[in-house]
């Protein structure tokens, strides 16, 4: 059986819609992550911001991007799965939406994130099982 999202996810580090972009970029650089959910003070998920979003936003701005806030550069369209989503379902979401991260939401509560790299381990295990089964 495939692993499910709750087995692969890591706790998501979040940012506020009012966080300055230079702080968002600094957080991503310091923590070596490339994706942050944007969560309002009331706990509601407002969107997501990735390094790609930051780069695109900064390159298309005529004004100083350091004066901008996360809510200006975030993507309000959130691609998510449930904690019980299977590895193939999560991989299909990434492929179909051309993204590298999927939020794991339970009742619209941000509980975790899965990156494309997180999918490597269960896929390698599945490959090994197939290879071993074929060699018998």
Edge-first strand order for the sheet with 109-115 is: 80-81, 101-106, 109-115
Its CATH architecture, for the domain 5-134, is Roll (3.10)
**Backbone angles phi and psi of 106, in degrees to 5:** -125, 110
- pLDDT number for residue 63: 72
Tell me if 38 sits within 8 A of 47, measured CB to CB.
yes
Categorize the per-residue pLDDT at 62 as very low, low, confident or very high, splitting at 50, 70 and 90.
confident
In this prediction the pTM is: 0.82
CA distances from 14 to 51, 58, 127 (A): 14, 20, 34
Ordered by start, the domain boundaries in the chain are 5-134
- pLDDT number for residue 2: 58
Q: What is the Rg, in whole angstroms, of the alpha carbon atoms belonging to the chain?
A: 17
pLDDT one-digit tens code per residue, 64-96: 777 789 999 999 999 999 999 998 999 999 999
């Amino acid at each position: 059986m495939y692993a499910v999202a709750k087995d692969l996810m890591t706790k998501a580090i979040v940012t506020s819609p009012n966080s300055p972009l230079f702080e968002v970029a600094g957080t991503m650089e310091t923590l070596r992550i490339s994706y942050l959910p944007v969560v309002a003070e009331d706990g509601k998920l407002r969107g997501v911001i990735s390094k790609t979003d930051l780069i695109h936003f900064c390159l298309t701005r005529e004004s100083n991007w350091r004066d901008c806030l996360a809510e200006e550069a975030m993507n309000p369209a959130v691609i998510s799965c449930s904690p019980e989503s299977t590895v193939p379902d999560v991989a299909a979401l990434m492929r179909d939406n051309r993204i590298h991260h999927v939020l794991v939401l339970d009742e619209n509560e941000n509980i975790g994130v899965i990156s494309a790299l997180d999918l490597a381990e269960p896929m390698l295990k599945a490959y090994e099982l197939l290879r071993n089964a074929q060699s018998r």
